[in-house]
Structure 1
Amino acid sequence: MNLFLSSSPSSLVVPAGHLRRPLSKACCDLLLSSLRYGVVALALVLSGALSLQAQTLTTLHSFSGSDGANPVSGVTLDKKGALYGTTNGGGDSNFGTLFRLDPDGSFAVLHSFDLANGAFPTGDLVLDRSGNLFGTTELGGASGFGTVFKLADDGSFDVLHSFSTADGSNPYAGLLLDKKSGILYGTASTGANFSGGSVFQLLPDGPLTVLHAFAGEGSNPFGGLIVDRRTGVFYGTTASGPTGQGTIYRMSAGGAVTVLHVLSGNDGSAPFAALVRDKDGNLFGTTTEGGLFGQGTVFKLAPDGTFTVLHAFGGSDGSAPFAALVRDKKGNLYGTTIGGGSFGQGTIFKIAADGTFSTLYSFNGSDGANPNGRLALGRGGSLFGTTATGGRNGSGTIFKLDP
């Protein structure tokens, strides 16, 4: 189930049809208390946060409901500069849409979900070399537990797999695509043998195979996968673990999982996003909760196992980063928080290669609120993304932030 804050920090927006799971409700309660955290000045002093509202934000599209509502995934850029994404609600049946936004501003709904073919997509889309789009829905499908889908370049839509709890359920994250083989990899946040979620593999025109079912070594993999192309080793996170705060894990091509770090103390807790890896093998990620001020962290895990909190959010610098980071060629990291900032509506932030943290933009509601998805890095350093609420109609936006 996706969670995001509405344009009013005192209320929560949960799309129709979603059921509250215990982990997510706990996350909600902490996020709400986080926005009421009073020691803002002390948090800023201790975290060394800077505010740089010099960038220009442009609202590219405001959702109205019929064209979709509440986009909680990020956007995917193609080579021509078109943006593709999903909304968590709205559309013909109010179960979400799949859309395209062209560079000239033309907007098109490519598909409206209708429950039978999936409902409430939350993960980012992936695009193959032929222009086909692949993604997941958290609910819906033949058994109601979510789907893997394909939207072909010719506009035809197919459900590639419907989850049944035995192979996992409620896939929250997007997919990882091997562009050479066409194999898709992903995670299901719950279900499978031990009800702790799974990692799966889906062959082109073939069956889905569970590579790993989570048990005591971690559970609830809301975040997606990344892979070291040289070795075929995967990396990911679980939102829960032995301490209840989550884990960072490595998985072999055969499905053997090794826990690299168990989150505890001020590390942060409940990582909901995929990791980012640099050429030296360092892993970077976010946690939605915990940390020194209880409002989430950005972390680094070195190959030798050294864990470092790069930033602990304190409220005015942002609160609750749900999305994965994006890393540019200079080693700068960019991300979003769903709450906090100057107006309590979420932020866009940067951690420079030298470790300096800065808030690039604070949303005020009219320009969007509660960015829940991963940013996309465009040419010239522009950042593209979505907000789950706010904008002209209160149903979310697509935006561009220019440096």
Structure 2
Amino acid sequence: MGRRIVRLAFFLVVSIAFLSFASRVNAAVTLLHEFAGGPSDGATPYYGSLAGSGTKLYGITYAGGSAGLGTIFSMNTDGSGYSILHNFAGGGSDGATPESTLVLSGTKLYGTTFVGGDSSLGTIFSMNTDGTGFTLLHEFAGGASDGSKPAIGGLTLSGSVLYGTTSLGGDSNKGTIFSMNTDGTGFTLLREFAGGASDGSDASISTLSLDSGVLYGTTAQGGDSNKGTIFSMNTDGTGFTLLHEFAGGASDSDSPKSMILRDGVIYGASFSGGDSNFGTVYKINTDGTGFTLLHEFAGGGSDGKWPFIGPVISSGVLYGTSVQGGDTNAGVLYQINTDGTGFTLLHEFAGGTADGSSPYSHPFWMSYNLYGIASAGGDTGNGVVYSYALPVPTPVPTLPPLSAAGPSVCSAQAPSSAPHLLKADAFNNSVKLYFVPAGEPVDRYYLAYGLTENNPIYGFEYYQADNTGALSLTIKALKSNTNYYFRIRGGNGCMPGAWSNILRVKTGFGGSQSATTFVASPTPTAASINVNPTSPIPTAMPVLDDNQSTDSGTLGFWGNLCRNLKLFFSSIWQFFVGFFKRY
């Protein structure tokens, strides 16, 4: 009888673990670093989200370091290479207790500290990404002519100008909006909040978004109900407008946090409001119309509770965190589509030595991975850096029109010359290539590309009806902030021609939707570029080498199978660990 009970218990455990895998196949996060505190490491990374580029991440901790007043750190995206770049010391010559997200621009980092500086009311600083050149650009003095206690949301960079907010300071001591050059000159108060029904107050967790010379942001208080506002303002300080005054309750939000702007729509989160008063995710147009609650947090094991900061966005999906909620009420990582559908808990933090807890900051999206910090959890309870792998979409090409039947022009000879890639326009998730055609006889082209120069792992064949003038094609669903190496060659019914030159292109990242142009070197003389109309073709297939058949899909199948098996066994292992810890 005892053996039967043991076997039954084992069967139930495995079944439950499998069901958990089936419903939350990507539920596990990877801990990249567990903060140890003390003089040699940071501790309690509260509000500042990570910044990064390529394979590097940068972040701040509120405490820890040689003076116990916080640190700036860097690390690789795989968790290796962790390094303290700066230990805050406070006083008149340094900042202390940093809470905001760093801004990364080339080899420069910009950020703020909540206290420190001559008046101990906070600072703005810059530093090289290797830790050298730390400089205080501004020391807040408070009062009517300066801000005080800079916002947790951090700075916004446009060209050589930084924009930000403070929670206090200004004429009414209810916070300010400021601008300043990146060299520390030209500090200007653009707005001094007055509170009340016609103004905002306390921009302590605001992150400004900039679009076409207009700044958008939030205040945690102010407006008719004193429950916060969304505002817009020109970068010269004129045209201040309240776009929305929060009223709280079941049909609105209360105490809005940071927001993000994309394609004329503002997306944000509030700490409270909604049916359960546990916070919301909302959207609103930049003209103040169309305010909509996308999600109302309910707490408990199947939802989040109290989002402390707004979400980030990528490819029509919002990603964010809440401080509480989930099975152990230690916070969640969630996603939701921009139309309000598809709300999913990606991870429920469990705390303890094997997980983080209380994530106050939003995740940082880069190359289909979410990187984030939790303020507690890990071996010493001082917080963690984590990563979460998102599914990578299959690249989808948009190509010139197919000829009616894809006619062959086979004449027992290869195209007489190789095509030449002229330039590429790179967007966040797509690249448009322009090239000089291959020499006749040609009726089709083969594009190959990959993440390194000599290893093209994707590609496709398409028919080209018109082989005159300069040609173009667009590849969509690419990873943002990623280097791609493109090459192309012509072909016909008999044999392919020589490959073109290789053109390296880096896709964009962030809120900007404008193209970055990459030009081949040397650039050949060619006709003016005539953009052909585009239409889709069947799904692209991998190209590994010149001899591979285009019907091969083995690599993607086995890669996905291995990944899913790994996640499956990881889910089983985590269930066993949790089960035996409890019982």
Structure 2: stretches of 5+ with no match in the other structure:
1-22, 391-583
Alpha-carbon distance in structure 1 between the residues aligned to 2:90 and 2:65: 12
Task: Give the alignment of 1:239-388 within 5 angstroms.
Answer: 239-242=220-223, 243-256=225-238, 257-266=240-249, 267-273=252-258, 275-279=259-263, 281-302=264-285, 303=287, 305-316=289-300, 317-329=303-315, 331-356=316-341, 357-366=343-352, 367-379=355-367, 381-388=368-375
Aligned partner of 2:128 in structure 1 is 152
TM-score (norm 1): 0.82
Task: Give the alignment of 1:177-188 within 5 angstroms.
Answer: 177-178=157-158, 180=159, 182-188=160-166
1:401 aligns with 2:355: no
Deviation at 1:191, TM superposition (A): 1.3
Aligned partner of 1:142 in structure 2 is 118
CA displacement, residues 3-49 of structure 1 (integer Å, 9 cap, x when unaligned): xxxxxxxxxxxxxxxxxxxxxxxxxxxxxxxxxxxxxxxxxxxxxxx
The 1:277–1:361 alpha-carbon spacing in structure 2 relative to 1, beyond 3 Å, is same
1:119 aligns with 2:108: no
Amino acid at match of 1:322: F
Alpha-carbon distance in structure 2 between the residues aligned to 1:86 and 1:139: 14
Farther off after superposition, 145-154 or 291-300: 145-154
Aligned partner of 1:232 in structure 2 is 213
The 1:134–1:337 alpha-carbon spacing in structure 2 relative to 1, beyond 3 Å, is same
Alpha-carbon distance in structure 1 between the residues aligned to 2:267 and 2:320: 11
Instruction: Indicate the structure (1 or 2) with the bigger Cα radius of gyration.
Output: 2
Deviation at 1:112, TM superposition (A): 0.7
- The higher relative CO (CA closer than 8 Å, separation ≥ 6) is in 1
Amino acid at match of 1:310: L
Aligned partner of 2:52 in structure 1 is 77
Aligned partner of 2:70 in structure 1 is 96
Q: CA RMSD in A?
A: 1.4
Deviation at 1:365, TM superposition (A): 0.3
Alpha-carbon distance in structure 2 between the residues aligned to 1:171 and 1:65: 24
Match of 1:59 among 28, 31, 50: 31
Deviation at 1:354, TM superposition (A): 4.4
Which runs of structure 1 show a deviation greater than 6 angstroms over 4 or more consecutive aligned residues? none
Amino acid at match of 2:234: S
Any conservation in 1 of the 2:294–2:339 contact (CA below 8 Å)?
Answer: no
CA displacement, residues 167-206 of structure 1 (integer Å, 9 cap, x when unaligned): 111112211111x3x1111101111111110010111331
Any conservation in 2 of the 1:53–1:360 contact (CA below 8 Å)?
Answer: no
TM-score (norm 2): 0.57
Any conservation in 1 of the 2:318–2:335 contact (CA below 8 Å)?
Answer: yes
Structure 1: stretches of 5+ with no match in the other structure:
1-50
Aligned partner of 1:14 in structure 2 is none
The 1:160–1:389 alpha-carbon spacing in structure 2 relative to 1, beyond 3 Å, is same
Aligned partner of 1:27 in structure 2 is none
Amino acid at match of 1:135: G
1:209 aligns with 2:209: no
Any conservation in 2 of the 1:53–1:359 contact (CA below 8 Å)?
Answer: no
Deviation at 1:153, TM superposition (A): 4.0
Alpha-carbon distance in structure 2 between the residues aligned to 1:189 and 1:272: 13
Identity of aligned residues (%): 38
